[in-house]
Amino acid sequence: MRPADNTENLIKKLRYKASDEAHDRILDNVMQALDESEKQKAGAAAPNIWRTIMKSPITKIAAVVVIAGVLIGMHFVGLSTATVTFAEVIKPILNAQTAILDTIIGEEGEGPVIHDMVRGSRIRRTLSNMEGIVAIIDLQEGRILQLTHEKKEAAYIDLKDWPSIPNYMERLRNVITGLQEHPEFAVEKLGEQEIAGQRLIGFRATHPKAEITIWADPETALPVRIESTGGQMILITKNLKFDVPMDESLFSMDVPEGYTQQQAELDLHGATEEDFIEGLRIMAEVFGDGNFPESVALEDYLKQAPAIIKKCEELGLSEEEQTELGMKLQNYLLFIRFFKGEGQWHYAGKGVKLGDADTAIFWYRPEGSETYRVIYGDLRVEDVSPENLPK
Amino acid sequence: MLEDRLLLWRFKRGSKDAFRDIYEKYVGDLLTLAANLLGDEICAEDVVQDVFISFVESVGKFRLTGSLKGYLTTCVANRARDYIRRRKRRQSAVISDAEQVVSDERSPVQLVICSEELRKLSHAMTELPYEQREAIVLRLHGEMRFRQIAELQSISIKTAQSRYRYGLDKLRSVLNGEVRK
C-alpha cells in the first residue's frame, strides 16, 4: 500500500505551467485594469502628496532620528531649591555660561547618549548611535542646522511657532527660579549613595509639573547627575561640565563649503491623531513584520532608529520613499512628543498584530473631552467612556 | 514577508514595478492552485486574472493583516468556489498533459513513471467531491493550515481534517489500482 506522504508528494508535483502567451495576456489585462483604476482615482483629485513631500526634502529616515533626538533633549529645563546645601548644588548650573552634558533617555546603558554642548542660545547636539550627524540648534531663531558629514549634506529645519530663547542657560535659570517660587515646590534630601562607582549626595525636588533628582559630589558640591521626567520620559543627565571654553565655530549655523543644502519647516504642534495612526501602520507594516512596535515612546524609537535606517538601506528604499516614510514617522513622533491630551497616553500594542480588531493598542483623553479615544489593532478609533477603558 | 510588505507599500504608492514583482512572484503558484481546484486551465487563468484585477482595483483600501501569499490564496479559493457554484456542475476536464509539469526533474526515469501516475492522479482529483479536493489543494498547494481551511469552508477543524484524509485515501486507492494494472 502506498504511504500517505507519497501520495501527498505526488499531488505537490501537480504543477500547472501557463504558456508565455497566457502569462502576458493575464498581465496585460491586469495592467489595463490598473490603468483604468488609476484614471478614476486621478479624477477624484487627491492632494498631490509628492508635491508636499518635495517641499520637505529633508524628512528622510535619518533626519527623523536626529529630529527625534533634538526634540527629546529639549526637556532639560526644570529644577528647584530650598535648603542651603541644595542651593550650593545648583549654583554651578545657575552661574554657568556654557555647559557640556550627556543625556540618556530611559534606562542607563540601553539607549543612545545625546551629547550636548551648550553656548548662549545654541546647542551642538550629537547622538551616540548616529555617528557623523551633527545638529546645531539655534533656540533664539527656532532653527536647526543638521549636518551629515559623510554625505556632505546640510539641512535647515525651521521650527514653526518656536518661542525664542536667546540664552539657554539663562532660560534654565529663569525656569529654576520660577519653580522655586511655586508654593508647592519642595526639596527632599536623599543622603549619600554610591552611583556608578561614585559616592554622591542626592536631592529630590518636586513640583506639580516636574520631579527632578540631582546627585552631586559631596566634596565639591558640583552636580554630577540629574534624573528628571519629561512628559512620560525619564531623562538622565550626566557628565556635566560647566564654563568650558568652546570655539564659536562649533556652533556656526553656516553650511560648510561643498555641502548640498536643503530646507524644511517642522510644525511641532501640528501632528494629529491620524498622523499617529498612519505612523503605527508604517511601524507595523514596514518595520514590524505585521506587528505593532513594542513601545511608541521616543526613547524606544531612538534605540531602534539605526536598525530602521539599516532596514531601509537593505530594502533599497528610494530617496522619495525614504522621504515619505520620514515625513510620516516625524509626525508620528511629534504626536507623542507634544502630546496634547489630558493626563497620560497608554500604549498596549506590544505583541499585537496589525488587523487585530479586538485589542485596544492605544488610548488617551483629548483635551476637554469626557471620553477617551481608543485605537484598536485594526486601526479603527472609538470614543470610549472611562469606565469601559481596557484594563 | 517583509519583502511582500514593502512591495505592497510601494505598489500602494503607485509603483507598477512593485505590482509586477508581486505578480511574477505569485502567479505561478496561484495558477497551479486554481488549476488543481478547477481542473480546467482556461478557468484557472480567468480566476487568477480576476483575483489580480480585484487586487489592483482595491489596493488603496487594502490592509494586509497576514501574509500576501495567504491572502491571494484565499482569494483564489473563494473565486474558484464561486466559479464552481455558477457552473452548477462539476468540472471533469483534465488539464492537458502537455501543460502538466513535474517539478522534480532530477531523474529522467522517475519523470516518466511520475508522469503516468500524475495523469491518473490529475484525473482522480477532478473526480473527488469539491470540498475534499479543495481541502487537499489548499493544504498541499496553498500551504494552508487546517484551521485556515476550516475557516474558509465554514466547518470545524476536525471536518476539514476528515475531508482531507478521505480525499487522500480515495486518491491513494486510485493510484494503487493503477499500479496493480
By C-alpha distance, the chain A residue nearest B3 is A315
Round to whole Å and give the CA distance between A78 and A209. 9
Highest mean pLDDT among A8-12, A89-93, A266-270 belongs to A8-12
Residue A97 contacts residue A243 (beta carbons within 8 Å): yes
**Nearest CB to A7; choose among B19, B52, B168:** B168
What predicted TM-score, i.e. pTM, was given to this entire model? 0.53
Tell me the chain A residues in contact with residue B125 when contact means C-beta distances shorter than 8 Å: 11, 14
Q: Each residue of A284-307: pLDDT tens digit?
A: 888 888 899 988 887 777 777 777
Other Cβ atoms closer than 10 A to A207: 17
Round to whole Å and give the CA distance between A176 and A212. 11
Residue A83 reports pLDDT greater than 50: no
* Distance in Å, alpha carbon of A362 to nearest chain B alpha carbon: 18
Residues 6 or more apart whose Cβ sits within 8 Å of residue A61 = A308, A309, A312, A317, A322, A325, A326, A329
Tell me if A16 and B100 make a contact (CB, 8 A cut-off): yes
Please give the full DSSP string across B92-152, using - where no structure is assigned. -PPPPGGGEE-S--S-HHHHHHHHHHHHHHHHHHHHS-HHHHHHHHHHHTS---HHHHHHH
Residue A41: its pLDDT value, please?
A: 61
Tell me if B65 and A13 make a contact (CB, 8 A cut-off): no
* Distance in Å, alpha carbon of B35 to nearest chain A alpha carbon: 7
Does the beta carbon of A378 lie under 8 angstroms from any beta carbon of chain B? yes
Tell me if B172 and A29 make a contact (CB, 8 A cut-off): no
> Closest Cα to residue B133, out of B101, B107, B171?
B171
Q: Which of B7, B11, B20, B32 should one mutate to test binding to chain A, selecting the residue with the greatest count of A CBs within 10 A?
A: B32
Q: Which of A1, A9, A11, A319 should one mutate to test binding to chain B, selecting the residue with the greatest count of B CBs within 10 A?
A: A11
By C-alpha distance, the chain A residue nearest B58 is A37
Tell me if B172 and A378 make a contact (CB, 8 A cut-off): no
Tell me if A18 and B99 make a contact (CB, 8 A cut-off): yes
Q: Each residue of B70-109: pLDDT tens digit?
A: 889 999 999 998 888 877 554 444 444 434 444 433 333 3
- Tens of pLDDT along chain B (181 residues)? 557 777 887 787 777 888 999 999 999 999 999 999 988 888 889 999 999 999 988 887 777 667 888 889 999 999 998 888 877 554 444 444 434 444 433 333 333 335 677 888 888 888 899 999 999 999 999 989 999 899 888 899 999 999 999 999 999 888 887 444 3
